[in-house]
Amino acid sequence: MDARSSVAPPRTGKTLHRFANPGQFLRTSGKVLPWLFWVGALLTVAGVIWGLFFAPDDWQQGDTVRIMYVHVPFAWLASAGYFSLAACCFVSLVWRHPLADLAAAEIGPVGAGFTAICLATGSLWGKPTWGTWWVWDARLTSVLVLFLLYLGHIALVRAFDDPTRGYRAGAILALVGVINLPIIKFSVDWWNTLHQPASIGLMGAPTIASSMLWPLLFSAFGFTLLFIAITIARTRAAVMERRIRSLLMARASSPGGEEIPL
């Protein structure tokens, strides 16, 4: 790895630190990224086409149920993305890993985008089924809070001149916001809401026909791989941007214009 890199010096010997080494990260992620992207794109296209054109109508919602094949994966990823953001922030606060800082800052906008699409498709689904675009029930409100937490994190990590302070403040905000995740998940069980409870759970059989469940699982898995691929691509770009910046600064400050190979 480049000794001049501004990101942490590699620590050898420990398993986790090997992956946190930015040079190692760039090499490994560069190999994995095309696979993630293409497999994710393939599964997404297959799942969405299956869901939109071949899966059966719901007995009472008719064709409207097809919004599910987009809405549900984005809803899952909105929460899962926040969890991964918080995990990065935790690693950053405890072990001070610069790569975790970069990853957290890059997950934010992706997660916010996914949450926005979840809210928009949910609203489009709510109008024909419930009869309203929006209600302030516990599920919808807690997802809106999740969206605002993402926006807060995005703004906070970029609000300081010293990036390290921004990462620190953003990490604390993100970890406080984790309390919202169980609220989102269990809001439909703890309180009565307009939103229906989960159809698919770890415990108990799903309450969705298997002819509708399979395309949903395909598109959910595909969108998940795409989420990971986008996040990794953004984090790679951030690592490289940092390296270039530190090289340029080193070149500018080196006396006599000494050539530093990029």
Partner 1 sequence: MTRKKRRLLVLLVCGIGLGSATALTLSAFSDNLVFFVSPSSLAKMGPSGRQVRLGGLVEQGTVEKSSGGQAGARFKVTDGNASVLVTFKGILPDLFREGQGVVVLGVDQTDGVFRASEVLAKHDETYMPKEVADALKKSGRWNPAAGPPPPASTWNQSATKPPG
Helix (H) or strand (E) holding 202: none
Residue 108's identity, in one-letter code, is G
Residue 196 or 254 having the CB closest to partner 1: 196
Angle between helices 98-129 and 138-157 (to 10 degrees): 150
Residue 210 or 253 having the CB closest to partner 1: 210
Residues that bind partner 1 in the complex, under the rule CB under 8 A: 56-61, 65, 68, 90, 93-95, 128-132, 135-138, 175-176, 178-179, 183, 190-194, 196-199, 205-214
Angle between helices 22-49 and 210-253 (to 10 degrees): 150
What is the C-alpha separation between 9 and 169, in angstroms, rounded?
Answer: 23
Q: Cβ of residue 68: shortest distance to partner 1, in angstroms?
A: 7
- Rg of the chain (C-alpha set): 21
Residue 164 or 196 having the CB closest to partner 1: 196
Q: Cβ of residue 55: shortest distance to partner 1, in angstroms?
A: 8
Residue 164 or 199 having the CB closest to partner 1: 199
Q: Cβ of residue 162: shortest distance to partner 1, in angstroms?
A: 19
Q: Cβ of residue 47: shortest distance to partner 1, in angstroms?
A: 12
Residue 34 or 197 having the CB closest to partner 1: 197
What is the C-alpha separation between 228 and 55, in angstroms, rounded?
Answer: 27
Contact 218, 42 (CB under 8 A): no
Contact 96, 155 (CB under 8 A): no
Contact 172, 153 (CB under 8 A): no
Residue 116 or 194 having the CB closest to partner 1: 194
What is the C-alpha separation between 155 and 162, in angstroms, rounded?
Answer: 14
Residue 93 or 233 having the CB closest to partner 1: 93
Q: Cβ of residue 258: shortest distance to partner 1, in angstroms?
A: 37
Q: Cβ of residue 58: shortest distance to partner 1, in angstroms?
A: 5
Q: Cβ of residue 197: shortest distance to partner 1, in angstroms?
A: 5
Contact 100, 22 (CB under 8 A): no
What is the C-alpha separation between 69 and 56, in angstroms, rounded?
Answer: 12
